[in-house]
Structure 1
Amino acid sequence: MFTSLIKILRFGYPYKTFAFLNIFFNLLYAFFSALSFVSLIPMLKVLFNTNKNDFVEAEYKGIMNIPIYVKESLKNYLSKRLEDDVESTLVFSISLVIMLFLLKNICNYLALFFITFLKNGILKDLRNATYN
């Protein structure tokens, strides 16, 4: 089983660029996916919350707490903008969410695009090796 996998992976060596591009765009997809949902939460809390005076300064507590820091920072930014102008805050938050979802879907498309070259190239080489 393991030797068969090694033999198949040897056919993928000429297509390693496509494999790395797929991994890169999958990582970007995961990042934008998490960020898009993190951006939804503060927007909904600020827009539909009646208690708007709860400004808590966001503290950076290390790399493991970055989602919490980004969520709190975005909530504070939207709360401060909401006091000034409600319409522009709504336009900004909707634009941010649309942009993040668009970037997420573009990265997903590119990841699938590059994995197709890898898959089809390996299948073509296997077919050529089998019938030649």
Structure 2
Amino acid sequence: MRFDGAQLSVEVFSARLLVVRMAGVLDGVTLVRLAALVRAQLERPGCCGHVVVDLGEVGFFGTNDVTALLAVRDEARDRDVQVHVAGITAREGLLPVAITAAFAQFSSFPTLEKAELALAGARARVGAGG
């Protein structure tokens, strides 16, 4: 199997918030993989109310065609789940206008942390207090 330049992961933040993280390259091939992973999460029984697609670690955007992800967003709406994007708005000045325009079709947050605070509140953190 050939490596396509993208790394995907899923993290459950709460019963109402799930995050799909992407790192590496976002192009036509990896966008389809991303959309398929989000779709798979939506099909899980009892899926949450919000899915955040975190693109904060994407280092290269090789496409502005987000049709596959828009289709998943629309499917999510039919299931009463909202799909949001994080990590794009914080870099708008660095990205081609066509890419920011494509992702402007989504509810978005500048960072995953801001999405988390807005959608699920602060998670309990494990570790030393201060």
Q: Is the structural similarity TM-score above 0.5?
A: no
Over alpha carbons, which structure has the higher Rg?
1
Structure with greater proportional helix content = 1
If each structure's strand is expressed as a fraction of its own residues, which one has the higher value? 2
Which protein has greater RCO, CA pairs closer than 8 Å, 6+ apart? Answer: 1
TM value normalised by structure 1: 0.28
TM-score, normalisation: structure 2: 0.28
